[in-house]
Structure 1
Amino acid sequence: MCRRETARWLREQGFDARHLRDEDLQRLPDEEIFAKAIAEGRVVVTHDLDFGEIGALTRGRKASVIVFRLHNPRQPQLIERLSSVLSDSTEALRQGAVVIVEDARHRIRPLPIGAKR
């Protein structure tokens, strides 16, 4: 789970972002978090690699995940990378994708895994 500041920054950028702690849901199992995201049409933003695996199993349901794999996960670095990723992957996220964000690059995998766009 990312920090509340990330959700706040996303809202400042015009995204309808929510943090699980804002709804007292921080202890939900991954599968339930993902189901909630699908039901609400949200993108899961996380450091938890399990969400990429769950995203691969959506079986065509509209869902997206941004997974951070940063050496420096501090908020300024995370926001800098997130800003760059969003400018490049917004359409893929709308259609359903897993975006893996690393320090120097990011990869977009359409869902379901193996789908061509």
Structure 2
Amino acid sequence: MKAALKFLVDVGVGKNVEGWLRSQGFDTTALRDIDPRMADQDAQKLASTEGRIVITMDKDFGELVYRLQQKHVGVLLLRMNDAHKDEKLTAIKSILSQYGDQLNNSFSTFRNGKLRIRK
């Protein structure tokens, strides 16, 4: 699974998630290291070009995928606006262990402890 999954982590997700993904051997790029102010559309294009799943807390990615039909490799939207960094990390660990093989080419939304995956 690890070799197949590559991630682009949006700024709001947090450094601890980025660090954990890297420590687990996932090919991970953080927007904060490239351009923290990069437009969502540009971030989505970058992720698609590099074969990366976007991990974000920004609902605008839904508009890019559904309304604007922007090409993507996958989006994992964390609807956890007031979550502590440890809560986000716990969610990512759980999602990847249970559903990692289903994230490619899907738009997944995590909210209230549940993951919805749309292909």
Q: TM-score, normalised by structure 1?
A: 0.81
Matched, 1:78 2:88: yes
Counterpart code for 2:80: L
1:7 corresponding residue in structure 2? 18
- State how many pairs are aligned: 106
Matched, 1:29 2:29: no
Deviation at 1:9, TM superposition (A): 0.9
Deviation at 1:98, TM superposition (A): 1.0
Whole-angstrom CA distance in 2 between matches of 1:50 and 1:71: 14
Determine if contact 1:71/1:103 at 8 Å carries over to the other structure.
no
Three-state SS of the structure 1 residue aligned to 2:77 is strand
2:50 corresponding residue in structure 1? 40
Counterpart code for 1:35: K
Counterpart code for 1:17: T
Determine if contact 1:44/1:66 at 8 Å carries over to the other structure.
yes
Deviation at 1:73, TM superposition (A): 1.5
Whole-angstrom CA distance in 2 between matches of 1:71 and 1:39: 28
Structure 1 residues 12 and 71 mapped into 2: Cα distance closer, same or farther (>3 Å)?
Answer: same
Seq. identity, %: 30
